[in-house]
Structure 1
Amino acid sequence: MPGSKTPIYTALAANLLIAATKLTAAFVTGSSAMASEGIHSLVDTSNEVLLLLGLRKSQRPPDEKRPFGYGKELYFWAFVVSLLFFALGGGFSIYEGVHHLLHPEPINNPIWNYIVLGIAFVFDGVSLITALREFNRQRGDTPFWKAVKQSKDPSTFVVLFEDSADVIGILLAFTGIVLSQVLNNPYLDGVASILIGLLLTMVAVFLVRESRSLLMGESAGKAEINEMILMIESDDATLSVVSSQSMYLAPEEVIVQLRVKFKPDVPSQEMVIVIDRLRTEIQQRYPHFRHLLVEPV
């Protein structure tokens, strides 16, 4: 099963409240950067809803239509979230910034922007810490970027990178508003909005690439496959593993197909017993190898 849903619920609650306050502040002050941040939080809110939907759908039991279950629903919805992050978050923020550069307006009552950004920074910071703790729990001693590349649970790393973009976006918006006010240059507010859009676009491209890879089907870890092959070839009844194929169907669900060459003197009835025994031993060691298909050669 995927990791804890706590980071998603935390991000959902934070983004929903922050989006309302940011958009209200943008309406009152006329800040382009604040409007971009409000749109950003709205997109994040919808993203958490879609991730929760994907988690729920992925946990449906197998049936005649989907004999291997619905685990890839999570990967599909994570891919949709990544596209929304790109199109709505990055695209709208860049559009808002360009519009402000073409039609600059001074920021009114900037104190409201500072108050809202301060509140948002606290909530988004708590959400980021929650997501980071969950990701660190899952990765253990694995280096951070290696764990990101190897992660098969988008419900964790998507939220982690969204929250990171939130915090950095708030700092960009704050900087743009301060410089715009101090230098009496409304164009800087638009520049901050564009920078926020570029930040969201870069994060979205990364998430799209990772989510697409999971959706297309990633194989199990090479070390696990090699250890499994060694277990099989160490058995007295087998000679070698001719071929092996694997694919993640969900964060903790892998399908593995093996072609195993048995010794010539092993009767077919005994092969069945050996295969059942090997399947039990392998799944005890690697419980995420849920579907283990062995074809005797």
Structure 2
Amino acid sequence: MSTGSSKVSIYAAMAANVAIGIAKFIGAYISGSSAMLSEGIHSVVDSVNEVLLLYGLRQSETGPDEQYPLGRGQELYFWSLMVAVLIFALGGGVSIIQGVRSLQSVEISSDPIVSYCVLGAAAVFEGAALTVSIREFNKIQSNADMGLWKAIRVSKDPSSFIVIVEDSAALVGLLIAFIGVWMSETTGNPIYDAIASIAIGGLLTVVATALVAKTKGLLVGESASLETRESIKTIVRSDEAVSDSEPPITLHFGPEDIMLALNIEFRDELSADEIEAAVRRIEKTIRGTHTEVKRIFIEAASVD
């Protein structure tokens, strides 16, 4: 995904979360709803997350220097991991604690109408932000036939899919909060509002755990997609100068920054000049086909 598309999604989500967060806290103060307070905390955490993602994007765009000869593309993966940790600790943890406290001292919400109005407005804004995020994500999706969630699973750009996952979780959280407020008002039992707060915390914990697993793989060093690796292998082995080659070794330093290492066995009868020409030819073809491959290291040696 392009950096520009990622930033559009993040700015849209940030604007929605700031406005919604303020409304939720006002609604929680007036109504006394625990679920509303948890949703307010959720919006604050999401807003902070957007700031961290923007910072990670900015840092990842820093070019190579003497201290970081391969650039700082993986900073995006680090800050994305911090986002997942914040969702777990602040979003999930605080919401669960708030819900447990409400169970211990239950109070009926004083004005549920305010909660309904805030939740309805929040759903509209969150839905708009999610629509923008999905639209920007689909603009650059390499395989148009691939479903959204499958595309997210194979994506190497956390700045795009984290926003989509956050907004989706926010809409589910709003539904849970609405059910909690409605059940408390209908039955006259405020315990449902507290349970909704705990459920929101559980939802955020599950989301955070999934994001931690995904971003951990990127931070440790995931290879390029199978399609990319197979394409590179085909390019190498189809060259007339190549007799054999090992599977390509790839490593993502960023969503659009792949390092490639190749161990190629050239035909025995080739001269040094012919091998050099073949290396240049292979590199040119790979770069022309896969613009995300920024660095190529080729070792001309026996595969054995």
Q: Distance in 1 between matches of 2:246 and 2:214?
A: 31
Q: Distance in 1 between matches of 2:199 and 2:291?
A: 45
Deviations 1:213-238 (CA, angstroms, capped at 9, x unpaired): 11111111223222222222222222
CA contact (8 A) 1:61 1:70 kept: yes
Alpha-carbon distance, 1:278 to partner: 1.0
Alignment-derived partner of residue 80 in structure 2: 78
**Of 252, 256, 265, which aligns to 1:248?**
252
Q: Which stretch of the first structure deviates more once superposed, 265-274 or 144-153?
A: 265-274
2:133 to 131, 134, 138: 131
Q: Which among 45, 48, 52 is matched to residue 46 of structure 1?
A: 48
* Correspondence 1:185-224 to 2 at 5 A: 185-224=189-228
Q: Distance in 2 between matches of 1:64 and 1:243?
A: 30
CA distance in 2, matches of 1:86, 1:266: 58
Tell me how far 1:111 sits from its aligned partner.
1.6
Does structure 2 retain, via aligned residues, the 8 Å contact 1:26–1:35?
Answer: yes
The equivalent residue for 1:150 is 154
Per-residue CA shift, 1:112-161, capped at 9, x if unaligned? Answer: 11111111111111011111222233332112332121101111110001
Moved more, 229-238 or 210-219: 229-238
Taking structure 2 as the reference length, the TM-score comes to 0.94
- Aligned twin of 1:68: 70
Q: Who is 1:261 aligned against?
A: 265
1:53 and 1:116 map into 2 onto residues whose CA distance is 30
**Quick check: 1:2–1:153 contact (8 Å CA) kept in 2?**
no
In structure 2, the partner of 1:234 is 238
- Following superposition, the deviation at residue 3 of structure 1 comes to 5.6
Q: Any idea what the Cα deviations from partners look like across 1:64-83, whole Å, max 9, x if unmatched?
A: 11111111111111111011
- Bigger drift between 169-178 and 127-136 goes to 127-136
Distance 1:183 1:235 in 2: 74
Structure 1 residue 244: deviation in Å? Answer: 2.4
Contact 1:124 1:167 in 2 (8 A): yes
Alignment match, 1:104 = 106
What is the alpha-carbon distance in structure 1 between the residues aligned to residue 199 and residue 242 of structure 2? 60
| CA distance in 1: counterparts of 2:134 and 2:185, whole angstroms | 34
Report how far residue 49 of structure 1 moved.
0.4
Letter in 2 for 1:125: G
8 Å CA contact 1:3, 1:156 repeated in 2: no
**Paired-residue identity, %:** 43
User: Pick from 23, 34, 52: which aligns with 1:21?
Assistant: 23
For structure 1, the residue ranges without an aligned partner over 5 or more in a row are: none
- Stretches of structure 2 that go unaligned for 5 or more consecutive residues are none
**Alpha-carbon deviation of 1:271?**
1.9
Q: Residue 247 of structure 1 aligns to a residue in which SS?
A: strand
Pair 166,243 (structure 1): closer, same or farther in 2 beyond 3 Å:
closer
| Residues 237 and 274 in structure 1, CA contact (< 8 A), matched pair in contact too | yes
Residues 38-92 of structure 1: CA deviation (Å, up to 9, x unaligned): 0000000000000000111100111111111111111111111011011110111
Give distance in 2, aligned partners of 1:148 and 1:3. 18
User: How many Å separate the matches in 1 of 2:120 and 2:238?
Assistant: 61
CA distance, structure 2, for counterparts of residue 122 and residue 143 of structure 1: 24
| Correspondence for 2:10 | 8
Post-superposition offset of 1:243? 4.4
Aligned pair 1:169/2:168, yes or no?
no
Q: Is the 8 A contact 1:245 1:258 kept in 2?
A: yes
- Please tell me the residue identity of whatever aligns with 2:75: E
Residue 267 (structure 1) shift: 2.0
